[in-house]
Structures are given as structure tokens and as C-alpha cells.
Amino acid sequence: MLNIHKLWLFSSLCVIVFVVLYFQSEVARLEDNYYRKFEYKLLQARTESRQFDPKQPEIYDDDLVVIYNRVPKTGSTSFVGVAYDLCKRNHFKVLHINITANMHVMSLSNQYKFAQNVTKWREVKPALYHGHMAFLNFDRLGTYSKPIFINLIRKPLDRLVSYYYFLRHGDNFRPHLVRKKHGDKMTFDECVEKGQPDCDPSNMWLQVPFFCGHAAQCWKPGNKWALEQAKHNLVNHYLLVGVTEEMADFISVLEAVLPRLFKGASEHYLNSNKSHLRQTSSKLEPTQDTVKKIQQSDIWKMENELYEFAYEHFKFVKRKVLAKDGIGQTYFYEKIRPK
């Protein structure tokens, strides 16, 4: 009986010690979190006095031009819908670039005129331009200022399948519009099995040239130089390239980086119908046999390489901007001489 009493007493002490240690660790964790946030607030206060006049960037923000050279079937309509809803509230213009016959490249003369027009048309600044056009390098067009480029990229096979059924069944954005393949009931799997041109892997060659640009080599399917140029432009000439599958995060990063245009964009996207504005009707997922056959092509491999490259870069950027603990990165100036 005495041994049972001692065992009960020992067990009770163990429980008490465990509870005390647990609460001590929780208190320490909360205190550490509090002090980190407190230090961050102090750092913010110090930073305000060591950065440029906070009113100054607003002058430059009003001269802001963003170009979204949207790739077809990457969710671009949903994203642009957010911009159109915000433009009046945030006091900026949204302009659609409509190129004759839906061509994705401009003539050299139009490239020059467009670059001059976009950078000098002050009456519509700040502005977001959008349209299905290839990347345009403003460095070689003699403009004093350059716009900011943004874009979205999608898994290449998903984009091709979506476009295939879009041409046959349309979408829920304009359901009564008759598309050019209306009435064709052949599935994507049947198309691949029969080797039809509409599902040929060469049709996936679109995201690479959109990021590559206006050079002739960009539009030759399977061109390795085009792929490398697309990667170079993505890293060196785009402020941000997101992925369709993570559009909410793409919008959140834009709101954090470019609040002049995208303030309130994340909340609006999540709480409105913009997150599913345009969906292809009657789309069937391809079978595994079809997927394996498509993935054997060099063009899929190159387009997928660009997608994976863009996605890895987007994750890297996103981690720096969207800090999970709410404590973002900041900077300030010190050792300023002469005083």
C-alpha cells in the first residue's frame, strides 16, 4: 500500500513538473515573439528617418507603367478582372493592347511607336497595359524610361488541353460565343491517338516565345536559344512572374510590391468571383497514356523547363516578400557622410 502511495506521489510530481516546464517554454516563446515584433517596430521607426522622403515615391508612382503581356489560357482574364475593378478606386488606367488579327508580334515600326507612346502618354499614367503580345525589350527602342513587366505562366500541357477544349466548347465568361471548332466532339485523347494537328506538341510552343520576345528565333518551335533567352528575360526584365496555380500568392506579392496599383487586390480576389472568372467548358483531363506520349516530345520538355524555372524563381521571390511570421524585410541608410 505504501509503494502505491509513493508511486502515485511520484507520478503527480512528474505531471506537475511537465506542466510547469511546458508553461515556461510557452511564456519564453511568446516573450521572444513579442520582443522580435517590438524590435521590428523600433527598426521601422529608425528606418523612416533614414530613407528618402516618404512623399517622394508617390511622384514616381504616378509615372508608373506596368505591362502584362498575357499568355493565352493562363488565367489572365481573372487577373485582369481584378485590375479593372480596382482601377477607379486606386486611380489608375487599364488599357487593352489589341494587335491586328491577334498577332503576337509587332512590326518594327509599331514596336518603336508603341514604346514611345507608352512611356510618354502622361494623361493615362499610372497605367496597366495588357494584351496577348510577346515581350518587348525597351532598351533597344530609345525610350527614356522603361515600363515594368509582369506575367503568369502555366503548366504547358494543362494550358494546351484547356485551349483545345476552349476552341470547341468556349467558356463560362462568354458562353454564347461560337468558337471556331464548335461542334467538334473529338476528345484530346482521341486527337493524340490519331495524330491530329490540333493536339500536336508544337502547339505548346507559346510560353517560351512570349518570354523570348520579337526575334525570329523565338518563334521556331524547339529552339534552344529561345528557351535560354526566355529565361534571361524572365529574370532580368520582369518584376514578377507568377504561376496560374498560385494566382492568389501572385496577387499578394504584387500588392506588397506595387501598392500604387494593387492595394486591396488580395482581398478583392479572394472575396469576389474573380478567382474563377473564366473556366473552359466541358474539359476532360487526358489519360496517363496521353500524358506520357506528350511528355516524350522535346517541345514539352523545353516548355516545362521554362515553367519549372519560373516556378522556382517565383517561390524564391514569394518567400522574401510574404513572411509567414508577419515580420518582413526592411532596409535603412546609416553612416551618412558628411553630416
Please identify every residue annotated as catalytic: 130, 132
CA–CA distance, 209 with 104 (Å, rounded to integer): 9
Q: Where are the alpha helices (DSSP H) in 49-182?
A: 56-61, 76-90, 108-120, 156-169
Beta carbons within 8 Å of 264's beta carbon, 6+ residues apart? 86, 89, 90, 255
Question: Residue 135: left if φ>0, alpha if ψ -120 to 50, beta else—which one?
Answer: beta
Question: How open is the CA angle 164-153-77, to the nearest 5 degrees?
Answer: 70
Give the CA-trace dihedral at 256, 261, 262, 268, to 10 degrees: 160
